[in-house]
Amino acid sequence: MRALQSVVVLAVAAVAATVALPATTATCATSDQVAAYQSAIPRAKAAYFRTHRQARRRQAFAARQSKQRDALATSALACASGSAPLPFFPQGGVVGRDLYLTNTVDLDPGGGIRDPWCGGRTYDGHTGEDVVIRSFREQRIGVPVFAALDGQVREVQEGNKDTNYGDQTLPWDNHVILDAGHGQLQVYGHLRRGSATVKRGDWVVAGQQLGLTGSSGNSSWPHLHFTTMRDFAPVDPWPGPCGAAESGWTAEAPVDTDLYVRDFTFSRAAFSGHLDVPWDDAQRTGTFVAGRRDVHFRVELGNAASISSVRVRFVRPDGSLAVDDAPGVTFRAWRQTWGTWRHAVDLSPGRWRLLVDFDGRTLVEAPFDVVAGEAQVANRPPNPVTATVARVSGIALCTVAQDLVREDPDYDIVRYRYVWTSGGRVVRAVTAAGLRDALPRTAPADATCSVTPGDGRLTGSTARATG
List interacting residues with Zn ion (CB under 5 A): 130, 225
Residue whose C-alpha is closest to residue 198's, from 213, 176, 174: 176
Beta strand ranges found along 135-246 (DSSP E): 144-146, 151-157, 175-179, 185-189, 203-204, 209-212, 223-230, 233-235
For the bound state, the minimum distance from the C-beta of residue 230 to Zn ion, rounded and expressed in Å, comes to: 18
For the bound state, the minimum distance from the C-beta of residue 93 to Zn ion, rounded and expressed in Å, comes to: 17
For the bound state, the minimum distance from the C-beta of residue 151 to Zn ion, rounded and expressed in Å, comes to: 21
Evaluate whether 416 touches 451 at the Cβ level (below 8 Å): yes
Residue nearest to Zn ion (CB): 225
Nearest to Zn ion of 226, 416 (CB atom): 226
Chain-centroid distance, C-alpha 155: 20
What are the CA-CA distances from residue 144 to residues 207, 214, 297, 315 (Å)?
10, 10, 29, 39
For the bound state, the minimum distance from the C-beta of residue 225 to Zn ion, rounded and expressed in Å, comes to: 3
Structure letter (DSSP) for residue 414: P
Residue whose C-alpha is closest to residue 414's, from 378, 377, 445, 451: 451
Number of other CB atoms surrounding residue 9 within 10 Å: 14
What are the CA-CA distances from residue 445 to residues 123, 141, 396, 422 (Å)?
41, 28, 8, 8
For the bound state, the minimum distance from the C-beta of residue 129 to Zn ion, rounded and expressed in Å, comes to: 7
- Phi, psi (deg, nearest 5) at residue 175: -150, 165
Evaluate whether 406 touches 448 at the Cβ level (below 8 Å): no
Spell out the residues 6+ positions from residue 43 whose beta carbon is closer than 8 angstroms to its own: 12, 14
CA atoms of 118 and 242, how far apart (whole Å) = 5
Residue whose C-alpha is closest to residue 225's, from 187, 195, 178: 187
For the bound state, the minimum distance from the C-beta of residue 123 to Zn ion, rounded and expressed in Å, comes to: 9
Nearest to Zn ion of 131, 395 (CB atom): 131
Nearest to Zn ion of 22, 119 (CB atom): 119
For the bound state, the minimum distance from the C-beta of residue 134 to Zn ion, rounded and expressed in Å, comes to: 17
Nearest to Zn ion of 123, 232 (CB atom): 123
For the bound state, the minimum distance from the C-beta of residue 335 to Zn ion, rounded and expressed in Å, comes to: 13
Nearest to Zn ion of 69, 225 (CB atom): 225
SS3 (DSSP) at 12: helix
